[in-house]
C-alpha cells in the first residue's frame, strides 16, 4: 500500500526522501512523488510507474529544500497517472496520504462550492484543499491541521508541509501506521521504521488518532482529543544491512533461503533446546478449560491458520474456527465472552485482520496476535503476542513469515495438547523431537533446488495449474497456488485431493500441470489414487513426496521432488519450501517482477 516519508532536515531533503521511498517499495505502488519547500514555496516532482521514473524527473529538474514529503501511491481512487500521484498541493500546502477518505465526495462538493479547483481524481486531494481553506480563513497551520482531521472520515495516515514554514511538518495517524524518527537537529516521519532505518534508530510509533507537529528540534504529539501526550521513543534494531539482498538476486529468494535460520530463531523462543519443553508467553486464558479458538487472517497468513486448525484440533482436541478476516465481522460470528481469538499476520497492519481483531475485542474475546512486526498495531492491541522471528520480509510474496507462523502454531498446538493432557508423554516427546529437527530438514529441502528448477520448466508454459493435497497438505496446496498466481501470473487452484473428482477433474489435460503434495502420512494411499485418476486422463503430475512415496507413485509422475522423510506433524512446514521455490523459478523463467508483482501490495491497509 502507499508509503509516506517526511523530513524536516538540515541538508538537501530530496535525496533522502527518494531513498526512503525505495525502502518502502516493497509495500507495492504504481506512482511516486516528492514535494519540498524551496525558498518557502512548494515545489514538487511526480511520476507514474517506478521510483526510477521519479528519479529521472528529479535529475532533469533538481528539487532543493531541506523540508519535504514523499509518497509511493497504490491506486485506489483514480488511475496510476501523474496527475493522481501524491503529493497533492495548492499554493499553500502539500500533502501525502495513505488510506481512504470515506467522505471525500461530500468534502469535495463543499470545497468546490468555495471555489477550490481539483486537479486529480483522488480522495486525498480534498485534504490539501481543506487545509488551504482553513489557513486562508486565518488559522495557524497547526490548528488548521487539527481542525481538518476532524472533518475526515476513514482510516489513513497523512503528512503535510506548509508554504512559508520551512521548519514544520504535520502528520497524523488514524488506522494506517506512522512512525516518527528522531535525529540530531532533524526529524523524520515514515510509514514504517524500515523507511527510516539509515536515518535514525530512535523511533516512536503514533497511537491511533494521534497527530503530530514536527520541527527540526521538537516533536509535539496530540491524541485524538487534542491533548498533548508522549509516546515512548525506542531504539529500533533495524539496520540497512537487514534489508539488503545480500548475494541473492531477489528478496524473495533470499527470504526462502533464510528459512532454516528464522524458523530456528522462532522455535527457540517456544521450545527449550535443552529440555525440548514447549513454553508459551502467559496467556489471558486457561488452555485446560478453553472451549474453542477463533483464528482469523488474510492470504498466506490465513493458510497458516488453516494448518493451525488441523494441528490444534488433532493434538489438543480443542475446537477451532478459522475465518478469512475480510468476511469475519460481516458474518456476525458468535463469540463467547472470555474466549480466545488469534490473529495471524506478517505485518500486523492488514486492515481486514486489524478490524476483525477490534471486532473480537469488542465482543469480550481475549486476543492473541501471531505477528512478525513487534511494534505493529495488532501487537499493540493484543492481550498477548506470539511473535514470529522472521526478520523484515520485503518480497511481496510471503515465504519466511509463513513458515515461522507455522512454527508458532505448531508450538501452540503442542503446548495446548500438553496442558489439556490429550497426548501421552511418549507421543509428546516424539513430537518435540520432530519440531526440534525442522530447521535441519528445511535445509535439506532447500538442497533440492535443482530438481525444483527443472520442474519449473514444466509449469512455466501452462495457463492453468492445479495443486492437490490432503489433510495438512491441503492448505499448503492452496498456498502453493497463491504463490504461483502472485508472482508468475499463472492461474492456479489449490484443492483437497479428494475433491478433485467433484469437479476440477474436468480441467485435467496434458497442458494443465497437477502438482501433488503427498507426504507419507495416513492419507498417502488415497492421494496416490488421485494421481492414478489424473494420469488416466492424460494429466502431467509433479509429485512432491518423500523417498517412500516416490518409490510407490513416482512412476506415474512427469517429475518428482524428494522431501526428507519426517514426522507427519511437521510436513506442512517442509512442503511449503518446494511450492515457494517452484513459484519463484517459474516467475524467473517468465521474467516477471518477482519482488514487486503487478497490482499487489505487501501490506494491505485498505478494506
Binding site for ligand M6R (CB under 6 A): 298-301, 345-347, 350, 353, 396-398, 486, 600, 603-604
C-alpha to C-alpha distance for 388 and 342, rounded to whole angstroms: 14
Residue of 92, 108, 596, 602 with catalytic role: 602
Rg (CA), the chain: 25
Query: Please, which residue, 23 or 596, has the CB nearer to ligand M6R?
Result: 596
Sign of CA dihedral 456, 457, 460, 461: negative
Integer CA distances (angstroms), 264 to 285, 390, 535, 578, in order = 27, 10, 39, 19
Query: Please, which residue, 345 or 566, has the CB nearer to ligand M6R?
Result: 345
602 is catalytic: yes
Query: Please, which residue, 90 or 372, has the CB nearer to ligand M6R?
Result: 372
CB of 157 to ligand M6R, least distance (A): 17
CB of 98 to ligand M6R, least distance (A): 15
For the sheet containing 202-205, what is the strand order? 41-48, 31-38, 67-73, 3-8, 187-190, 179-182, 202-205, 234-235
Query: Please, which residue, 298 or 382, has the CB nearer to ligand M6R?
Result: 298
Query: Please, which residue, 84 or 326, has the CB nearer to ligand M6R?
Result: 326
Torsion angle of alpha carbons 44, 156, 208, 9, nearest 10°? -10
* Gap between the terminal Cα atoms of the chain: 11
298 is catalytic: no
Residues 578 and 561 sit within 8 Å (Cβ to Cβ) = yes
Query: Please, which residue, 451 or 600, has the CB nearer to ligand M6R?
Result: 600
C-alpha to C-alpha distance for 252 and 248, rounded to whole angstroms: 9
SS3 for 486-510, per residue?
Answer: HHHCCEEEEEEHHHHHHCHHHHCCC
Residues 52 and 59 sit within 8 Å (Cβ to Cβ) = no
Integer CA distances (angstroms), 189 to 195, 551, 573, in order = 9, 58, 37
For 223-251, the DSSP string reads -TTS-EE----EE----GGGGS-TT-SSH
Residue of 2, 108, 418, 535 with catalytic role: 2
DSSP-derived pairing of the beta strands 31-38 and 41-48: antiparallel
Query: Please, which residue, 353 or 355, has the CB nearer to ligand M6R?
Result: 353
Cβ atoms < 10 Å from Cβ of 232:
7
**Which residue in the shown chain puts its C-beta closest to ligand M6R?**
299
User: For residue 559, what is its C-alpha cell?
Assistant: 517429475
Compute CA 261 distance to the chain's CA centroid, rounded to the nearest angstrom.
20
CB of 504 to ligand M6R, least distance (A): 22
Catalytic residues: 2, 602
Amino acid at each position: 500500500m502507499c508509503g509516506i516519508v517526511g523530513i524536516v532536515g538540515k541538508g538537501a531533503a530530496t535525496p533522502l526522501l527518494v531513498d526512503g521511498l525505495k525502502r518502502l517499495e516493497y509495500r507495492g505502488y504504481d506512482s511516486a512523488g516528492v514535494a519540498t519547500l524551496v525558498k518557502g514555496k512548494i515545489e514538487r516532482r511526480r511520476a507514474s510507474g517506478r521510483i526510477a521514473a521519479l528519479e529521472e524527473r528529479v535529475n532533469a529538474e533538481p528539487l532543493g529544500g531541506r523540508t519535504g514529503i514523499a509518497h509511493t501511491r497504490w491506486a485506489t481512487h483514480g488511475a496510476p497517472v501523474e496527475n493522481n500521484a501524491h503529493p497533492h498541493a495548492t499554493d499553500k500546502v502539500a500533502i501525502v496520504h495513505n488510506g481512504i477518505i470515506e467522505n471525500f465526495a461530500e468534502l469535495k462538493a463543499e470545497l468546490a462550492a468555495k471555489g477550490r479547483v481539483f486537479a486529480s481524481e483522488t480522495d486525498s486531494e480534498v485534504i490539501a484543499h481543506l487545509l488551504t481553506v482553513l489557513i486562508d480563513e486565518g488559522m495557524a497551520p497547526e490548528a488548521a491541521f487539527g481542525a481538518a482531521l476532524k472533518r475526515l472520515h476513514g482510516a489513513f495516515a497523512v503528512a503535510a508541509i506548509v508554504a512559508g514554514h520551512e521548519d514544520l511538518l504535520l502528520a497524523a495517524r488514524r488506522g494506517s501506521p506512522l512512525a516518527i524518527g528522531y535525529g540530531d537537529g532533524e526529524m523524520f516521519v515514515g510509514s514504517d521504521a524500515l523507511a527510516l532505518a539509515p536515518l535514525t534508530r530512535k523511533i516512536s510509533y503514533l497511537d491511533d488518532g494521534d497527530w503530530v507537529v514536527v520541527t527540526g528540534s521538537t516533536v509535539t504529539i496530540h491524541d485524538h482529543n487534542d491533548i498533548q501526550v508522549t509516546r515512548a521513543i525506542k531504539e529500533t534494531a533495524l539496520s540497512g544491512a537487514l534489508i539488503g539482498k545480500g548475494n541473492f538476486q531477489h528478496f524473495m529468494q533470499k527470504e526462502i533461503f533464510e528459512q532454516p535460520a528464522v524458523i530456528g530463531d522462532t522455535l527457540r523462543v517456544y521450545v527449550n533446546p535443552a529440555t525440548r519443553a514447549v513454553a508459551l508467553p502467559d496467556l489471558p486464558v486457561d488452555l485446560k478449560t478453553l472451549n474453542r479458538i477463533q483464528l482469523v487472517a488474510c492470504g498466506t497468513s490465513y493458510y497458516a491458520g488453516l494448518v493451525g486448525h488441523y494441528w490444534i484440533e488433532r493434538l489438543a482436541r480443542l475446537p477451532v474456527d478459522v475465518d478469512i478476516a475480510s468476511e469475519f465481522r460481516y458474518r456476525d460470528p458468535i463469540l463467547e465472552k472470555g474466549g480466545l481469538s488469534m490473529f495471524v499476520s506478517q505485518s500486523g497492519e492488514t486492515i481486514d485482520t486489524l478490524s476483525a481483531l477490534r471486532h473480537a475485542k469488542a465482543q469480550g474475546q481475549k486476543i492473541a496476535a501471531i505477528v512478525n512486526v513487534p511494534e505493529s498495531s495488532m501487537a499493540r492491541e493484543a492481550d498477548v503476542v506470539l511473535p514470529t522471528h522472521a526478520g523484515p520480509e520485503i518480497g511481496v510474496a510471503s515465504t519466511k513469515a509463513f513458515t515461522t507462523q507455522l512454527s508458532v502454531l505448531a508450538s501452540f498446538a503442542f503446548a495446548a495438547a500438553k496442558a489439556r493432557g490429550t497426548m501421552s508423554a511418549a507421543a509428546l516427546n516424539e513430537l518435540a523431537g520432530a519440531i526440534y529437527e525442522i530447521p535441519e530438514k528445511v535445509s535439506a529441502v532447500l538442497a533440492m533446488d535443482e530438481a525444483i528448477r527443472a520442474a519449473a520448466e514444466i509449469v512455466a508454459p501452462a495457463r492453468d495449474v492445479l495443486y492437490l493435497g490432503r489433510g495438512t497438505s491441503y492448505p499448503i496446496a492452496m498456498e502453493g497456488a497463491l504463490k504461483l498466481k502472485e508472482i508468475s501470473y499463472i492461474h492456479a487452484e489449490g484443492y483437497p485431493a479428494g475433491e478433485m473428482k467433484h469437479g476440477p477433474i474436468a480441467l485435467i489435460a496434458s497442458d494443465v500441470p497437477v502438482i501433488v503434495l503427498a507426504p507419507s502420512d495416513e492419507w498417502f494411499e488415497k492421494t496416490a489414487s488421485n494421481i492414478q485418476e489424473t494420469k488416466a486422463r492424460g494429466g502431467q503430475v509433479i509429485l512432491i513426496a518423500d523417498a517412500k512415496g516416490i518409490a510407490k507413485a513416482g512412476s506415474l509422475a512427469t517429475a518428482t521432488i524428494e522431501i526428507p522423510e519426517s514426522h507427519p506433524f511437521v510436513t506442512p512446514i517442509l512442503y511449503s519450501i518446494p511450492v515457494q521455490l517452484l513459484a519463484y523459478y517459474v516467475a524467473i523463467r517468465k521474467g516477471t517482477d518477482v519482488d514487486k508483482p503487478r497490482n499487489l501490495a505487501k501490506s494491505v491497509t485498505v478494506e
